[in-house]
Amino acid sequence: MINRMVTVFFIALGVVIGGTFIGGLAAFITKESPIKMMDDISQRIKLYAVVSSIGGTFKNLRLLEGSIFQGELSVVFQQALVLLIGFIGANIGVFIIKGLTGGY
């Protein structure tokens, strides 16, 4: 379980940081402000980072639904914890980008 949480955290963090830097490169090519665009992209990509970090499928949601109706609270807790770790990773990525862009 710890291995999965660490993986989810770093995938969410990497999606935000990587997507933001590549988006900043696109802004540079199109002669827009890369710093402003990077700040905007980091906010918009946050949810996608969480979804991709947990697997991006409905498998996790179906597991959560089945666990709730079967009364398996430990599985519900584990899935909620994985989602929380994904959100934390994505938000730390946004915090890093805000630090690099000066909070534009």
The string of DSSP letters for the chain reads -HHHHHHHHHHHHHHHHHHHHHHHHHHHHTTS-HHHHHHHHHHHTHHHHHHHHTTSSSHHHHHHHHHHHHT-HHHHHHHHHHHHHHHHHHHHHHHHHHHHHT--
- The predicted pLDDT at position 41 comes to 94
Closest CA relative to residue 93, chosen from 56, 50, 51, 57: 50
- What is the rounded distance in angstroms from the CA atom of residue 89 to the CA atom of residue 16? 9
What are the pLDDT digits (tens) for 69-101? 777 777 778 888 988 999 999 999 999 999 998
- The predicted pLDDT at position 43 comes to 92
What are the pLDDT digits (tens) for 46-77? 999 998 888 865 666 677 667 777 777 777 78
- The predicted pLDDT at position 102 comes to 86
